[in-house]
Structure 1
Amino acid sequence: MGKILIVAEKPSQAREYAKTLDVKGKGDGFLHNEHYIITWCIGHLLELDRPEEYMDIEKVGKRWGLHRLPVLPQIQNFKHQVKASTRSQYQVLVKLLKSSEIDHVICGTDADREGQLLFQEIWDTVQCQKPLKRLWISSLTGEAIREGMNKLQREEEVKGLAQAGYGRSYADWDFGMNLTEGFTSLFGSFDPVRKKPNVISIGRVQTPTLALVVEREWEIEQFNPIQYCEVEADFEANAGCYTGKWIDDPTKQEMQEEKYELDMKPNQQASELTEHGLDRIRAEEIAAKVKGKQGSIYSIEAKEIQEPHPLLFDLTSLTVAASKRFGMSAEQVLKTAQSLYEKKAITYPRTDCNFLPPDILPKLPAHLQALRIEPYKAWVEEAVKKDLPKGKRVINQITAHHAIIPTTERVSPEKLSLDEGKLWDMIVRRFLGIWFPPARYETTVVLTQVEGEYFRTRGKVLLELGWKDLLGDTADEDTSNQPKRRRGKSKKREEGEDGEADFVDLPILSNGESIKTLKAVIKEKETKPPKRYTQGDLLKAMENAGKKVEDELLQQQLKGKGLGTVATRPAIIENLLDRGYLLQEHRTLHPTEKGKELIRLIKEELPKAQLLVSAEMTGQMEYELSQVEQGKQELTNYMVQVENAIREILNELKVFQSAFGKRPLALAPVKSKSKTSKTKSRNNSSSKTELKDQKAKQEEAVQAQALREVLGSCPLCGGEIVEGNKGYGCMNYRQGCSFVVWKTPICGKVLTPAQMKKLLSKGKTDLIKGFRSKTGKNFSAYLVWQEARSSQLKFMFDKDT
């Protein structure tokens, strides 16, 4: 009987499989025993070929241009090549798949679309016909691996996942390769500072994400602040003092309660501020009218509110929380979470789900027991006495993977890195919180009447911490015995906004009680623009396709129609930063001029390209890709939509070129050389980065040559003349052509590309003004060839023509 081959995604994953299955033998690129051979990929071992592989280069040329496009291979005609850096491991894998020693194959790569794709590319390339099963697990613990091996999925069950993986890969290639070349040939230029092309990178998900940030920046730039006033008064009652804020008409109280949060948000305009915003004259009248006067308690309304525990983490909510609390970037969170997963500390992190399935309920006590360590021990002992959490905020419909929770493995926090410890602690506390009751508050709204004017005061009393006891949200909450009425936290203050606390100290008050107005002050305020995105904010916007949604459960309904996936979004943000479209200052993201010009160009002058900046339309494409995954749509139908969209955009670019010619966009800004946390984290994988950088430099060199504008034909050999750093030279210099016109100043003037172009085509430049003679006199002249083949020039004056 032959052996079973298990293909893991990376060596660390393979070692966990080997440990669980008692596979101890070591080979070159694999592990083995009498039953199993376990090998691994190293990420994607194959990559899609460049567009040039589908072109007749002799016919279309090497230089990027719209005349070479579109390049849209049929699904069956896409070509792959083996990555040079992982060729040896690819050969190991191919040899094993073809080996007569192997009877069955198990795909054990990460249980998601990308994990399926990197295996499927090799499987289909080799055209292996052996029986295939799929290992689908949500953690790398021994228990999870053994359970997964007992419940292997059939090949047909993940067929849709493989098709969706190809769809994502092919669509991104079609968009990226065609539109990046098309836009760059029309709007790109050569960057003399970096000595490389200013490439106008376009991406199916990247470009609409950039549009979100640019549009937010435009809102900020166009925002007109509105000044307004508020009146606050201090009152003295029998049991003590308190403060109230002026409101308009108490008979409209219900309406005002509903509008209050909207009215006072910082980005509201004048029409929305009439209920609570006052002009200076009216504010002074009210303050003078009530100061020192007697009044009474008009009404007191008290009610209890409950705040349920937050949903369990998915990757996006984990990133948002870590970004807000620790300033961690999206890429940093993803890498750290993946590291925790590989250390068996947490379940699979690349999940878009906040819920757990019903069948995990019997296993939850084991997850809980693994946390019986400090500082969680006391909470665990309290939780084990409670019933299993079964509410819809915990047990609900899941996607491919359930929410991120700690595994059943006992973790030693001291063995985790600083970032791993921070993330793991957040995940543990969020998990423990589902066993605890809601936080309970008593809120009180008091209306005070003075001289026909009304003031509102809000008080908040914590009755029970509940789950908040675990999450560290109670830094200023004192649970000891104290007076019932006391200060609670303002929502504004909790969110870090400027302004006074909405909830204030309240003494014991009674309806109709007389009070005295001690003082009334006028506070000048102004509306504020929307906030710039942090990486966490941008991830939420991508997930919701740009829609503002605060309710956690409502957010679940929008999932699947966002920009990208939880696994790809952090890389998209990094790409926007790396490609000069965004800058990060402190924790906020700012678009560069290059980014703003690209979005403005598309929105104002390229109507067919509008889908590139539409979060909703791109989100719809992501949704249709999920339909492919579920077998509800054919991959061919999805690709037809992709190809039609690309053809329309390229045709529009060709019309634009005919009408307006080339129009270079702004260059990307020069990056700061200061070390960031991102730089430090990259140092941990320097060898991998160097290989990537080497390849990038090679591609840049090819693109640089292709992007330089051809100014004319070489008088010496007929080759192409392009601009260099120090002169205008022939592209055939490697073949021995010596033609060059140096940029040495001629009587104080340096020849420009436009003048060189005219010289090559007409034999002379237009009239050039501003030459300066040796005696200091200015003069105008044409430059003409004295001897074209030797690149010698001379002056020609009007009298000579």
Structure 2
Amino acid sequence: MRLIIAEKHSVGQAIAQAVGGHMEKHDGYVQVGDDLVTWAQGHLVDLAAPDEYKDHDWDRWSLDTLPIDPTPDWQWKVSRDKGADRQYKVVAGLMRRGDVDMLVDACDPDREGEAIFRRIVKHAGVSKPMRRLWVASLEEDAIRDALASMKDETEYQGLADSAMIRAKADWLIGMNASRAYSLVYNARFTVGRVQTPTLAMIVDRDRQIAGHVARPYWKVVAPMGGWKLAGERLDKREDAETLLRIVNSDDFAFSIFKAERKQQHDAPPRLYDLTGLQKDMSRLHGLTAARTLSALQSLYEKKLATYPRTDSQYITHDDLDTLRGLTEGDRLAAGFIEPDAKPERPHLELTVNDAKVAGHTAILPTMQADKAALDELGDDERLVLTRVVRRMWEAVGDDYVHDVTNVVANIDPHWCEKHPDEGRLLPEGECRFTSRSDQPVSLGWHAIEHAAPQEDHGEEDEAAGNIIPANLAAGVSIAPVPHGGATLSEGKTKPPKPFTEATLLAAMEHASRWVEDKDLKAALDDDESHSGGIGTPATRADVIEKLIRTGYVERKGKQLRSTEQGRSLIDVVAPKLKDVAVF
């Protein structure tokens, strides 16, 4: 008899339904034919806390007891979470049954799922043949296919070892560093392997903002009849006023140095991995990373989306038929996108890259998702499912085609010949003017959600409203329209923007920006390594929430700002503990 162990009750129920047959419900498990299906409750078995090591005096907070290191005699305990002890006894009891001759690891298909299963087996002291159920969707066909193609659990030993190493590293750093800094500075400090480098990035950004000295600058802006030429930033007002006087002269003209036109094709975006979805949900709808993950996990358990904790933005060739089925008909168009935005011939091949799928494919809706299912969801789930479906359509859509024109102009040399004194008042570099226009030709994938709010580009987005004449060419002279209509624009240099949930997730994902060592920088940037910066797609939301719970970071609208307590910790902690290059 097989004992199938899922990570959560809802997943266990989905597996039992997929197995099929008469289902007998028992306390903490169900029986379906010759299969028993039970479930964990997250981490039923955890590393013991220092005060639970009875042969040491680690319950005493003292520098004399540091460092705390249980190696090689690590101890484990059943979780203290409500109901965990009761469910552990059910699972362990089923494992020990004489008629159970095979254990099936059906916990979530990732490192943490592997850890949950292995710890229960070890703590229960059971040694039986084990197989791995690796499935990214809870649809019945997907589960049945996975049950028919299970591999031996030993093939996932690397995943289990990785989970063990991370757990022990987190324990050693957290327990020792937190106690050490709390005792030395007589304050309650919490130090974490990923948490502290992340906090350091926020503190560093906030201090750049606080230390920024705004410096004024001026720009001359000349109207050209439907478009504008903007001068360089000038640090001295008197220089800007001199240039303004020149441009507003009665006989003034620009000489076009360059008029470059190019039709650009912007390829569709990739499918979502978890971090990409979290960033967009924060940017578009203000959802925190934790809320997005919670909603996506719920959609997964409701069989409406594939496995959430993925770091891949592609599918494999084996998944093409599934994607083809998702894009056929209007089931995932009605209620999700405008009818005329659906691609006529979806480019499914753009989503395929076998080499960049390590365990899990990108996030997709399932065949059970449709408008009726969407209407039954809560607010967060509805927003997340809609965005997942729209990204699917975007990823298989046509290129966004747009005409981009860049113009560079200077003071007309003939004008300088007529006015030699004024022509020499400013260096040539300060008399450079530029303009840019960006006009859509074919919306392509932008039609899916072209009205979505974008990141604030501020005054740098100077292409807005410009329609540069198609016949404008290098070498021609052209006067402002109207003459004398140029104005002086004044601005101030701005500090870096505070982190938002979206930009912090991006910083954690691309932590190489904070690394000077070339080899380590290359490793962090390497897609093939799946190192993914600091933290993992599955843990980054928890890291942010923990920083807020501990009082080191606070939310101010969409911004994430460090607190005085958080800055104090970064001031005293050892450089290695806040260095992203180490963790």
Following superposition, the deviation at residue 474 of structure 1 comes to 4.1
What is the rounded CA distance, in whole Å, between the counterparts of 1:400 and 1:223 in structure 2? 45
* Secondary structure at the counterpart of residue 7 of structure 1: strand
Tell whether 2:290 aligns with 1:331.
yes
Of 262, 268, 273, the match for 1:314: 273
Q: Which residue is 1:105 aligned to? A: 103
Q: Which residue is 1:10 aligned to? A: 8
Letter in 2 for 1:613: K
Letter in 2 for 1:420: E
Tell whether 2:29 aligns with 1:72.
no
**In the superposition, relative to structure 1, how do residues 210 and 518 fare at CA in structure 2: closer, same or farther (>3 Å)?**
same
Q: Which residue is 1:505 aligned to? A: 467
**In the superposition, relative to structure 1, how do residues 440 and 394 fare at CA in structure 2: closer, same or farther (>3 Å)?**
farther
Letter in 1 for 2:335: P
Cα shift readout 1:480-514 (whole Å, capped 9, x = no counterpart):
xxxxxxxxxxxxx9531432641123345433264
The 8 Å contact of residues 316 and 352 in structure 2, kept in 1 or not, is answered as no
Cα shift readout 1:675-695 (whole Å, capped 9, x = no counterpart):
xxxxxxxxxxxxxxxxxxxxx
Cα shift readout 1:447-467 (whole Å, capped 9, x = no counterpart):
445445553221222110000
The 8 Å contact of residues 48 and 78 in structure 1, kept in 2 or not, is answered as yes
* Secondary structure at the counterpart of residue 445 of structure 1: strand
What is the rounded CA distance, in whole Å, between the counterparts of 2:500 and 2:341 in structure 1? 38
What is the rounded CA distance, in whole Å, between the counterparts of 1:555 and 1:474 in structure 2? 33
Tell whether 2:534 aligns with 1:563.
yes
Cα shift readout 1:748-796 (whole Å, capped 9, x = no counterpart):
xxxxxxxxxxxxxxxxxxxxxxxxxxxxxxxxxxxxxxxxxxxxxxxxx
Of 206, 212, 222, the match for 1:223: 212
Of 97, 112, 115, the match for 1:114: 112
Tell whether 2:440 aligns with 1:456.
no
What is the rounded CA distance, in whole Å, between the counterparts of 1:163 and 1:63 in structure 2? 31
What is the rounded CA distance, in whole Å, between the counterparts of 2:66 and 2:219 in structure 1? 61
What is the rounded CA distance, in whole Å, between the counterparts of 1:501 and 1:206 in structure 2? 35
Of 573, 587, 590, the match for 2:544: 573
Tell whether 2:540 aligns with 1:543.
no
Q: Which residue is 1:289 aligned to? A: 246
**In the superposition, relative to structure 1, how do residues 303 and 548 fare at CA in structure 2: closer, same or farther (>3 Å)?**
farther
Q: Which residue is 1:495 aligned to? A: 455
The 8 Å contact of residues 380 and 432 in structure 1, kept in 2 or not, is answered as no
**In the superposition, relative to structure 1, how do residues 164 and 97 fare at CA in structure 2: closer, same or farther (>3 Å)?**
same
Following superposition, the deviation at residue 168 of structure 1 comes to 1.5
What is the rounded CA distance, in whole Å, between the counterparts of 2:42 and 2:36 in structure 1? 19
Q: Which residue is 1:271 aligned to? A: none
Following superposition, the deviation at residue 305 of structure 1 comes to 0.9
The 8 Å contact of residues 183 and 200 in structure 1, kept in 2 or not, is answered as yes
Q: Which residue is 1:614 aligned to? A: 579
Following superposition, the deviation at residue 372 of structure 1 comes to 4.0
What is the rounded CA distance, in whole Å, between the counterparts of 1:575 and 1:297 in structure 2? 58
The 8 Å contact of residues 561 and 616 in structure 1, kept in 2 or not, is answered as no
Following superposition, the deviation at residue 572 of structure 1 comes to 0.9
The 8 Å contact of residues 8 and 109 in structure 1, kept in 2 or not, is answered as yes
**In the superposition, relative to structure 1, how do residues 377 and 573 fare at CA in structure 2: closer, same or farther (>3 Å)?**
closer
Q: Which residue is 1:777 aligned to? A: none
Q: Which residue is 1:25 aligned to? A: 24
Tell whether 2:558 aligns with 1:587.
yes
What is the rounded CA distance, in whole Å, between the counterparts of 1:378 and 1:498 in structure 2? 29
Matches within 5 A, 1:190-229: 199-229=188-218
Q: Which residue is 1:129 aligned to? A: 127
Give the percent of matched residue pairs that are identical in Structure 1 and Structure 2. Answer: 30
What is the rounded CA distance, in whole Å, between the counterparts of 1:117 and 1:186 in structure 2? 35
Cα shift readout 1:307-336 (whole Å, capped 9, x = no counterpart):
111111111111110111111111111111
Following superposition, the deviation at residue 358 of structure 1 comes to 2.0
Q: Which residue is 1:653 aligned to? A: none
**TM-score relative to the length of structure 1:** 0.65
What is the rounded CA distance, in whole Å, between the counterparts of 2:507 and 2:170 in structure 1? 21
What is the rounded CA distance, in whole Å, between the counterparts of 1:293 and 1:330 in structure 2? 58
Letter in 1 for 2:24: G
Cα shift readout 1:85-113 (whole Å, capped 9, x = no counterpart):
22111111111101012121111010011
**TM-score relative to the length of structure 2:** 0.88
What is the rounded CA distance, in whole Å, between the counterparts of 1:312 and 1:380 in structure 2? 21
**In the superposition, relative to structure 1, how do residues 182 and 431 fare at CA in structure 2: closer, same or farther (>3 Å)?**
same
The 8 Å contact of residues 368 and 408 in structure 1, kept in 2 or not, is answered as no
* Secondary structure at the counterpart of residue 384 of structure 2: helix
* Secondary structure at the counterpart of residue 617 of structure 1: coil
**In the superposition, relative to structure 1, how do residues 565 and 241 fare at CA in structure 2: closer, same or farther (>3 Å)?**
closer
What is the rounded CA distance, in whole Å, between the counterparts of 2:352 and 2:242 in structure 1? 50
What is the rounded CA distance, in whole Å, between the counterparts of 2:447 and 2:81 in structure 1? 53
- State the Cα RMSD in Å: 2.5
How many corresponding residue pairs?
545
Following superposition, the deviation at residue 356 of structure 1 comes to 1.3
* Secondary structure at the counterpart of residue 203 of structure 1: coil
Structure of higher CA gyration radius: 1
Cα shift readout 1:419-465 (whole Å, capped 9, x = no counterpart):
11111111111101122111011111234454455532212221100
Q: Which residue is 1:186 aligned to? A: 184
Letter in 1 for 2:200: A
Cα shift readout 1:608-629 (whole Å, capped 9, x = no counterpart):
x3211001211xxxxxxxxxxx
**In the superposition, relative to structure 1, how do residues 62 and 357 fare at CA in structure 2: closer, same or farther (>3 Å)?**
closer
Letter in 2 for 1:286: L
**In the superposition, relative to structure 1, how do residues 526 and 381 fare at CA in structure 2: closer, same or farther (>3 Å)?**
closer
Of 469, 474, 479, the match for 2:447: 469
Q: Which runs of 5+ in 1 are unaligned?
A: 190-198, 248-275, 476-492, 603-608, 619-801
What is the rounded CA distance, in whole Å, between the counterparts of 2:183 and 2:460 in structure 1? 54
* Secondary structure at the counterpart of residue 37 of structure 2: strand
Following superposition, the deviation at residue 204 of structure 1 comes to 0.9
**In the superposition, relative to structure 1, how do residues 148 and 284 fare at CA in structure 2: closer, same or farther (>3 Å)?**
same
Following superposition, the deviation at residue 172 of structure 1 comes to 1.0
Q: Which residue is 1:147 aligned to? A: 145
What is the rounded CA distance, in whole Å, between the counterparts of 1:391 and 1:157 in structure 2? 31
Letter in 2 for 1:243: K
What is the rounded CA distance, in whole Å, between the counterparts of 2:471 and 2:167 in structure 1? 66
What is the rounded CA distance, in whole Å, between the counterparts of 1:79 and 1:118 in structure 2? 12
The 8 Å contact of residues 45 and 87 in structure 1, kept in 2 or not, is answered as yes
Letter in 1 for 2:217: Y
* Secondary structure at the counterpart of residue 102 of structure 1: coil
What is the rounded CA distance, in whole Å, between the counterparts of 1:358 and 1:558 in structure 2? 21
Q: Which residue is 2:229 aligned to? A: 244
The 8 Å contact of residues 442 and 462 in structure 1, kept in 2 or not, is answered as yes
The 8 Å contact of residues 45 and 123 in structure 2, kept in 1 or not, is answered as no
Following superposition, the deviation at residue 278 of structure 1 comes to 4.0
Q: Which residue is 2:302 aligned to? A: 343
* Secondary structure at the counterpart of residue 108 of structure 2: coil
Following superposition, the deviation at residue 76 of structure 1 comes to 4.7
What is the rounded CA distance, in whole Å, between the counterparts of 1:410 and 1:284 in structure 2? 62
**In the superposition, relative to structure 1, how do residues 460 and 498 fare at CA in structure 2: closer, same or farther (>3 Å)?**
closer
**In the superposition, relative to structure 1, how do residues 55 and 30 fare at CA in structure 2: closer, same or farther (>3 Å)?**
closer
**In the superposition, relative to structure 1, how do residues 583 and 187 fare at CA in structure 2: closer, same or farther (>3 Å)?**
same
Tell whether 2:335 aligns with 1:400.
no
What is the rounded CA distance, in whole Å, between the counterparts of 2:512 and 2:132 in structure 1? 35
Matches within 5 A, 1:590-669: 590-602=561-573, 609-618=574-583
What is the rounded CA distance, in whole Å, between the counterparts of 2:13 and 2:556 in structure 1? 41
Q: Which residue is 1:440 aligned to? A: 401
The 8 Å contact of residues 444 and 460 in structure 1, kept in 2 or not, is answered as yes
Of 368, 374, 381, the match for 1:413: 374
Following superposition, the deviation at residue 17 of structure 1 comes to 0.6
**Greater RCO, 1 or 2 (C-alpha within 8 Å, sep 6+):** 2
What is the rounded CA distance, in whole Å, between the counterparts of 1:435 and 1:233 in structure 2? 42
The 8 Å contact of residues 369 and 408 in structure 1, kept in 2 or not, is answered as no
